[in-house]
């Protein structure tokens, strides 16, 4: 047995060495035409010059058979995602990203395209230290930028022009299209909407800046202020997390899967003494809307929580769904899908009036006639 065991160890060792060598990240100032990445290695990502951001293949929830084409914060504990391309179409092992003069193309190993960023005349590309991935033409002008094609997160120095949209992911670790969007509308309004999951039908707004005709663009500046610039050049504050020494922190603002836009900071230093009281993790510094459960939902659509359930906003600003008494979650892992009764439904065929009773629950409201 011992011999078999040690033989096995050798085999495992022999297998694991090349696997370790496979995952390479390369620091690149200029990514040249014809460069490519492969989720199976050898090159899986390109690092920004500072080494703080990477663009490339990121294993989806530590499952090394499925990948997200993403940009992530390299020095945070969980490599926090700042941008992603293919949330609805995870890339299997062996997928490639090709950079040609026509832009970026993500293909699986069978050659089927999963995602693309099409341009004409790209000459080189760069993963910048701001977290922006940029394709340039021969005049050295940006012709495609991840900052102009955001997913659910914005970063300092990023500006969202009219027509831009942020879309939440479905769950914290599920990057498929979620149920909330934030739009910088062409009409000058900044609006949050709920969307139906399957049909993608857009319900009414749950928050708006009320600046139709007057708004222009959304700015996240270096010192941690996020504001909407109005035509008369005044700033409409969206969230506010001003930092005295912004260079000591990573910053991001994300339309989270619960529909809340939250601004976060994460200290760059890892040693306790140098962090000045901050956790070595993301800390929320501001959010919008203030309380998504409290009247935030002003039109039909079930809000964060589904049928027969209610929304609860904790003092730590996290949102949760709960079932009324005698109801249970349809799917405890996806609480937003709502609750179902534990009892059989009423029937009009027989007189059951003595078998049902009304319960009163305090501090709870379904503000609209909401059975949607």
Ligand X SMILES: *[C@@H]1O[C@H](CO)[C@@H](O)[C@H](O)[C@H]1NC(C)=O
Cα distance between residue 341 and residue 329, in whole Å: 9
Only segment of 174-182, 217-225, 346-354, 356-364 that touches ligand X (CB under 6 A): 217-225
Cα distance between residue 217 and residue 162, in whole Å: 6
Asked whether position 173 contacts ligand X by CB under 6 A, the answer is no
Asked whether position 208 contacts ligand X by CB under 6 A, the answer is no
Site residues (CB under 6 A) for ligand X, limited to 24-53: 25-26, 29-30, 36, 42-43, 45
Q: How many residues does the chain have?
A: 372
CB 158 within 8 A of CB 147: yes
Of 190, 267, 265, residue with least CA distance to 230 = 190
How many CB atoms are closer than 10 A to CB 205?
18
The residue within the footprint of ligand X, chosen from 9, 112, 173, 237 (CB under 6 A), is 237
Asked whether position 333 contacts ligand X by CB under 6 A, the answer is no
Answer whether the bond into residue 42 is a cis peptide, omega within 30°. yes
Only segment of 8-16, 233-241, 267-275, 341-349 that touches ligand X (CB under 6 A): 233-241
CB 98 within 8 A of CB 105: yes
- 139 vs 333, which CB is nearer to ligand X? 139
Q: What is the largest CA-CA distance in the chain?
A: 81
Cα distance between residue 228 and residue 235, in whole Å: 6
The residue within the footprint of ligand X, chosen from 40, 79, 145, 202 (CB under 6 A), is 79
Burial class (CB in 10 A: 0-12, 13-18, 19+), 96: middle
Asked whether position 234 contacts ligand X by CB under 6 A, the answer is yes
The residue within the footprint of ligand X, chosen from 40, 66, 102, 289 (CB under 6 A), is 66
- Residue facing ligand X at closest CB distance: 213
- In angstroms and rounded to an integer, the radius of gyration of the C-alpha atoms of the chain is 24
Only segment of 147-155, 177-185, 225-233, 330-338 that touches ligand X (CB under 6 A): 225-233
User: Which phi and psi (to 5°) does residue 19 adopt?
Assistant: -65, -40
The residue within the footprint of ligand X, chosen from 74, 167, 171, 195 (CB under 6 A), is 74
Cα distance between residue 357 and residue 350, in whole Å: 16
User: Least Å distance between CB 18 and ligand X?
Assistant: 15
The residue within the footprint of ligand X, chosen from 20, 199, 232, 333 (CB under 6 A), is 232
User: Least Å distance between CB 213 and ligand X?
Assistant: 2
Asked whether position 221 contacts ligand X by CB under 6 A, the answer is yes
Of 151, 93, 140, residue with least CA distance to 117 = 151
Site residues (CB under 6 A) for ligand X, limited to 92-131: 121, 124
The residue within the footprint of ligand X, chosen from 86, 225, 239, 263 (CB under 6 A), is 225
Cα distance between residue 69 and residue 39, in whole Å: 9
List of residues contacting ligand X (CB under 6 A): 25-26, 29-30, 36, 42-43, 45, 54, 63, 65-66, 74, 79, 121, 124, 137-141, 143, 211-214, 221-223, 225, 227, 230, 232, 234-235, 237, 240, 314, 316, 318
């Amino acid at each position: 047995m011992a011999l078999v065991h040690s033989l096995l160890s050798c085999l495992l060792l022999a297998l694991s060495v090349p696997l370790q060598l496979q995952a390479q990240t390369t620091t690149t100032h200029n990514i040249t035409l014809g460069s490519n990445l492969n989720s199976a290695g050898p090159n899986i990502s390109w690092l920004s010059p500072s080494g703080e951001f990477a663009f490339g293949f990121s294993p989806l929830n530590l499952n090394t058979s499925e990948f997200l084409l993403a940009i992530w914060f390299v020095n945070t504990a969980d490599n926090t995602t700042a941008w992603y391309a293919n949330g609805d179409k995870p890339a299997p092992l062996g997928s490639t990203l090709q950079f040609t003069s026509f832009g970026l193309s993500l293909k699986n190993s069978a050659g089927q395209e999963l995602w693309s960023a099409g341009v004409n005349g790209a000459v080189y590309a760069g993963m910048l230290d701001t977290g922006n991935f940029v394709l340039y033409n021969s005049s050295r002008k940006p012709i495609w930028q991840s900052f102009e094609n955001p997913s659910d997160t914005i970063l300092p120095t990023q500006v969202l022009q009219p027509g831009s949209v942020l879309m939440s992911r479905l769950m914290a670790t599920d990057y498929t299209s979620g149920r909330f969007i934030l739009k910088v509308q062409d009409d000058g309004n900044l609006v949050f909407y709920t969307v139906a999951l399957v049909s993608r039908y857009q319900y009414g707004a749950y928050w708006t800046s009320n600046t139709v005709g007057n708004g222009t663009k959304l700015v996240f500046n270096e010192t941690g202020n996020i504001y909407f610039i109005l035509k008369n050049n005044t700033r409409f504050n969206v969230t506010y997390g001003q930092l005295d020494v912004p260079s000591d922190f990573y910053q991001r603002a994300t339309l989270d899967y619960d529909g809340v836009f939250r601004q976060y900071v994460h200290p760059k230093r890892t040693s306790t003494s140098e962090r000045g009281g901050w956790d070595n993790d993301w800390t929320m510094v501001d959010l919008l809307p203030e309380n998504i459960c409290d009247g935030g939902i002003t039109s039909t659509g079930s809000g964060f929580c589904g049928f027969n359930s209610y929304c609860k906003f904790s003092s730590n600003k996290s949102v949760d769904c709960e079932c009324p008494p005698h109801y249970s979650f349809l799917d405890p892992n996806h609480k937003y899908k709502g609750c179902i009764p534990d009892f059989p439904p009423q029937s009009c065929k027989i007189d059951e009036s003595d078998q049902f009773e009304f319960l009163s629950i305090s501090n709870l409201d379904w503000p609209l006639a909401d059975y949607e």
